[in-house]
């Protein structure tokens, strides 16, 4: 049995130089339903702040395929079926984002939430539908059953899943490298990819096989996770990028019914040609009163006439737990009580008119180093020489963190690494200056030294 994949084609890539493909990968990539990813942006609203960040889900998917293969070659190199496992990993990486709609995650929040109301990530459910469709299933079955890919994605494949979608899986490694490259924030995306992959093995944890990273690359892991934190904070959750996402969200909401987006999403033949270019083109080309608001929002996006951040606050997950409410509810309550109601009360008292309602936006939960995501994906640290603790070779990341005291000097001890959410209030540009002037007058004296978020970076 051959021990290497038979590559038949090469794609040039700015991150990995060259990405080689097998025959089945080539066939899948050349299908119209996969080619649609060329016209789906990876970062959506981020381009409003980082203008070079215009790369696509297509290039990300190809990159994840490449890294998934590298992982599998390393982890399964002693197995007789290493070639088959490597091909499975590569296909799982290649197709992991096939379900994304126009404007990626914002499409989840608006359209997929209606198509799959009980799914937290609609594009994942749609992906499963797509790999079982007439457009992809016959090609996939030339190698394996679509169900085998789904086992990787949903975690049933206990070993393969973290290689693709774990805390340091191929998906996250590629988007860190690729997004930081195109955004121009390479200092956040410096990752020792080869060292991390080459120090990945299968070892026993509590008598069960699990993915382990060798303890000697702990510093590389810490560096990657902290860099990722700053990438999220400064790129994905930049106040203006999120403002653009608010505009896109409103645009999709206004266009959903007039353009029959739910029906066209369910119809995979129609979905194949539903992308950001065709969608925006339809909004502009159709002379319909029902699309007037959507067209105005597209113009706002093109003109960079975006909502303005007028207030922000960090909400700690532990605070929400102590109060017995969800982080999302606490974000809304705090925004309303600490800012929005005070602004409204002042405008009513002074008879000041605001044209638009303010918007509340909260980010995903963030942390410098979140050991919980390692445990959720069954990923551990391997110490073959028992340097961390004599008598034990397998540790959770948290146990490893507790033995490397120096990490607390810049990441904080566990008590200070709790998850937090950044919540902001946005105002329409017609109202933003008025609201900022009001807040400057009425904000509590204890907040007098708070930064003016409108002045933070372009």
- Note the pLDDT of residue 456: 43
DSSP per-residue letters across 120-176: SSHHHHHHHHHHTSTTTHHHHTTTS-HHHHHHHHHT-STTHHHHHHSTTSHHHHHHH
- Contacts of residue 450, defined as CB under 8 A and 6 or more positions apart, other chains included, come to 443
246 φψ region: left (φ > 0), alpha (ψ -120 to 50), beta (else): alpha
Residue % of the chain over a pLDDT of 90: 82
- Note the pLDDT of residue 458: 40
Residue 392 burial (CB < 10 Å; 0-12/13-18/19+)?
A: exposed
The counts of H helices and E strands in the chain are 25, 9
Query: Which stretch of DSSP H or E encloses residue 20?
Result: strand 17-22
What whole-number distance in Å separates Cα of residue 144 and Cα of residue 139? 9
What whole-number distance in Å separates Cα of residue 225 and Cα of residue 403? 18
Give the length of the chain: 458
- Note the pLDDT of residue 14: 97
- Note the pLDDT of residue 410: 52
Which single residue is written with the structure tokens 């290649």? Answer: 94
The radius of gyration computed from the CA coordinates of the chain, to the nearest angstrom, equals 24
- Sort strands 200-205 and 208-214 into parallel, antiparallel or unpaired: antiparallel
- Note the pLDDT of residue 369: 82
- Note the pLDDT of residue 367: 83
- Contacts of residue 392, defined as CB under 8 A and 6 or more positions apart, other chains included, come to 383, 386
Residue 390 burial (CB < 10 Å; 0-12/13-18/19+)?
A: exposed
Among the listed residues 95, 93, 98, the one whose alpha carbon sits nearest the alpha carbon of residue 73: 93
What whole-number distance in Å separates Cα of residue 438 and Cα of residue 319? 29
Residue 253 burial (CB < 10 Å; 0-12/13-18/19+)?
A: middle
Among the listed residues 82, 87, 40, the one whose alpha carbon sits nearest the alpha carbon of residue 61: 40
What whole-number distance in Å separates Cα of residue 335 and Cα of residue 348? 18
Contact predicate 50/42, CB 8 Å: no
Phi first, then psi: give them for residue 102, nearest 5 degrees.
-55, 135
Contact predicate 120/293, CB 8 Å: no
Cα dihedral 390→392→397→403 (10° resolution): -10
What whole-number distance in Å separates Cα of residue 408 and Cα of residue 12? 41
pLDDT tens series, the chain, 458 aa? 456 799 999 999 999 999 999 999 999 999 999 999 999 999 999 999 999 999 999 999 999 999 999 999 999 999 999 999 999 999 999 999 999 999 999 999 999 999 999 999 999 999 999 999 999 999 999 999 999 999 999 999 999 999 999 999 999 999 999 999 999 999 999 999 999 999 999 999 999 999 999 999 999 999 999 999 999 999 999 999 999 999 999 999 999 999 999 999 999 999 999 999 999 999 999 989 999 999 999 999 999 999 999 999 999 888 888 899 999 999 999 999 999 999 999 999 999 999 999 999 999 888 888 878 888 888 999 999 888 778 889 998 888 877 765 655 555 555 445 788 999 999 999 999 999 999 999 998 765 555 554 444 44
Residue 18 burial (CB < 10 Å; 0-12/13-18/19+)?
A: exposed
What whole-number distance in Å separates Cα of residue 174 and Cα of residue 169? 9
> 7-98+136-237, which class in CATH?
mainly alpha
């Amino acid at each position: 049995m051959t021990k290497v994949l038979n590559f038949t084609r090469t794609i040039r890539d700015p991150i990995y130089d060259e990405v080689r493909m097998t025959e089945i990968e080539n066939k899948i990539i050349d299908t119209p339903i996969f080619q649609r990813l060329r016209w789906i942006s990876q970062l959506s609203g981020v381009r409003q702040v980082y203008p070079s960040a215009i790369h696509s889900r297509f290039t990300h998917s190809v990159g994840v395929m490449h890294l998934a293969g590298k992982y599998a070659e390393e982890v399964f190199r002693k197995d007789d079926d290493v070639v088959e496992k490597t091909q499975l990993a590569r296909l799982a990486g290649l197709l992991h984002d096939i379900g994304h709609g126009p404007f990626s995650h914002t499409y989840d929040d608006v359209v997929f939430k209606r198509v799959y109301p009980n799914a937290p990530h609609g594009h994942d459910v749609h992906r499963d539908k797509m790999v079982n469709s007439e457009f992809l299933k016959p090609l996939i079955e030339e190698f394996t059953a679509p169900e085998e890919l789904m086992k990787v994605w949903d975690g049933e494949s206990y070993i393969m899943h973290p290689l693709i979608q774990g805390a340091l899986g191929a998906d996250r490694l590629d988007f860190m490298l690729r997004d930081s490259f195109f955004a121009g924030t390479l200092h956040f995306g410096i990752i020792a990819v080869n060292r991390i992959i080459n120090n990945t093995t299968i070892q026993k944890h509590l008598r069960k096989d699990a993915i382990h990273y060798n303890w000697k690359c702990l510093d590389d892991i810490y560096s990657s996770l902290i860099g990722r934190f700053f990438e999220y904070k400064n790129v994905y959750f930049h106040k203006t990028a999120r403002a653009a996402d608010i505009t896109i969200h409103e645009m999709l909401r206004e266009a959903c019914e007039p353009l029959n987006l739910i029906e066209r999403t369910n119809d995979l033949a129609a979905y194949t040609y539903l992308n950001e270019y065709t969608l925006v083109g339809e909004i502009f080309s159709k002379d319909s009163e029902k699309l007037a608001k959507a067209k105005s929002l597209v113009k706002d996006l093109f003109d960079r006439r975006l909502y303005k951040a007028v207030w922000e606050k960090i909400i700690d997950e532990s605070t929400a737990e102590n109060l017995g409410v969800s982080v999302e509810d606490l974000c809304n309550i705090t925004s309303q009580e600490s800012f929005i109601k005070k602004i409204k009360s002042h405008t009513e008292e002074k008879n000041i008119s605001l044209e638009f309602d303010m918007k509340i936006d909260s980010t995903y939960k963030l942390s410098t180093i979140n050991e919980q995501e390692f445990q959720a994906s069954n990923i551990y640290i391997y110490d073959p020489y028992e340097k961390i603790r004599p008598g034990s070779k397998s540790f959770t990341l948290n146990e490893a963190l507790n033995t490397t005291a120096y990490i607390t000097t810049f990441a904080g001890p566990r008590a200070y690494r709790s998850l937090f959410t950044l919540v902001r209030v946005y105002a329409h540009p017609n109202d933003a200056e008025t609201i900022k002037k009001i807040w400057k007058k009425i904000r509590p004296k204890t907040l007098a030294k708070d930064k003016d978020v409108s002045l933070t970076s372009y």
